[in-house]
Structure 1
Amino acid sequence: MHAARTRNMEPEILELESFLPYRLYRLADAVSREFSRIYKDRHGLTRPEWRTLAGLGQHGSMTATALGEQSAMHKTKVSRAVAELEQRRWLTRKPDEKDRRIEHLTLTRAGLAAYREMVPLAKAFERELLAKLSAGERAAVTEGMAALKGAFG
């Protein structure tokens, strides 16, 4: 008997609600939406703008390509976020000395101030999220995520 069929020869059905990739996506999306309320209310930022601000705040200077890789954002989202943060005067672009097609992005004083304001709020959000889990559940989530990341690189 073919593996894709049940005993009564009906096609196998995928229950999306119990499918792990879908459950992970839904959970990540729900957590991201909840956190987005903080940076949206505070500064009117979109998710890509927040991720760009956070990446530059963490690393100091990055290229748009590096930002996209770090944040798993498509280059058009990175480009729009960079343009918006530049319009706010929160970041500057500096062409690479060797390759003029590459720009190094850096937060301005105002951008860095916004980032520094957001860091404690982000950490408090994470603490509140983790507080919903027992110590054993936190360890299991951390270990499980590490195992899955290791399996997919």
Structure 2
Amino acid sequence: MKQDQKPRPRQLTSFVTFRLARLQASLNAQATSILKTSSGLSLVEWRILQTLEWFEFNTLKQLSDITEIDKGQLSRKIASMVDKGLLEQTPDEMDKRVQHLTLTQRARDICAKAMPIMQARQDLLLKDVSKDDLEVFYKVIDKLEAASKTREIP
């Protein structure tokens, strides 16, 4: 190797983080397009509505913890969704700083219309993936997620 040449780094495309980021961007673009066309919702709005519908909690902190969306960003999005008539906020009886979130009937109707379309998308994404491959994939994702919590690299 010539003295002025640097060693060639690994191909960026071999990094798991690069591949996952690229896949996430593609999936997000696809979901955004489908949701916009079918329901007028943004991807973040869809995730918020579905999370509130699926889990038995309803506060901003709980929502932020499960979705891992920044509380400030989430607060602004929730305010926008309240303005659009998708969510209602009710102060907690014990702690007025805590707001309980509930889906409006309008939001439930939109979700009911969009869910079969999003389920069809899910089916399309997984049509060529075997049950065994999907099980392995989820195990790998769990391991990567656990490893991503480490902040010091040995």
Please, what TM-score do these two structures have when normalized by structure 2?
A: 0.81
Helix, strand or coil at the partner of 2:17: helix
**What is the aligned-residue identity percentage?**
28
Per-residue deviation, 1:152: 4.4
Unaligned runs of 5+ in 1: 1-5
Alignment correspondent of 2:41: 45
Q: Deviations over 1:38-71 (max 9, x none)?
A: 2111232222212111112223651112212221
Could you tell me whether the CA contact under 8 Å between 2:52 and 2:58 is conserved in 1?
Answer: yes
Rounded Cα–Cα distance in structure 1 between residues aligned with 2:47 and 2:16:
25
The alpha-carbon deviation at position 135 of structure 1 amounts to 4.6
How large is the Cα RMSD of the aligned pairs?
Answer: 2.4
Structure 2 residue 115 is matched with structure 1 residue 125: no
Q: CA deviation at 1:150?
A: 4.3
**Aligned-residue offset at 1:128:** 0.6
Structure 2 portions without partners, runs of 5+: 150-154
Q: Which moved more, 1:131-140 or 1:78-87?
A: 131-140
TM-score normalised by length of structure 1: 0.81
Aligned residues: 148
Residue 114 of structure 1 is matched in structure 2 by: 110
Q: Which residue of structure 1 aligns with residue 63 of structure 2?
A: 67
How far did residue 147 of structure 1 move? 3.0
Runs of 4+ residues deviating >6 angstroms: none
1:149 corresponds to:
145
Residues 31 and 43 in structure 2, CA contact (< 8 A), matched pair in contact too: no
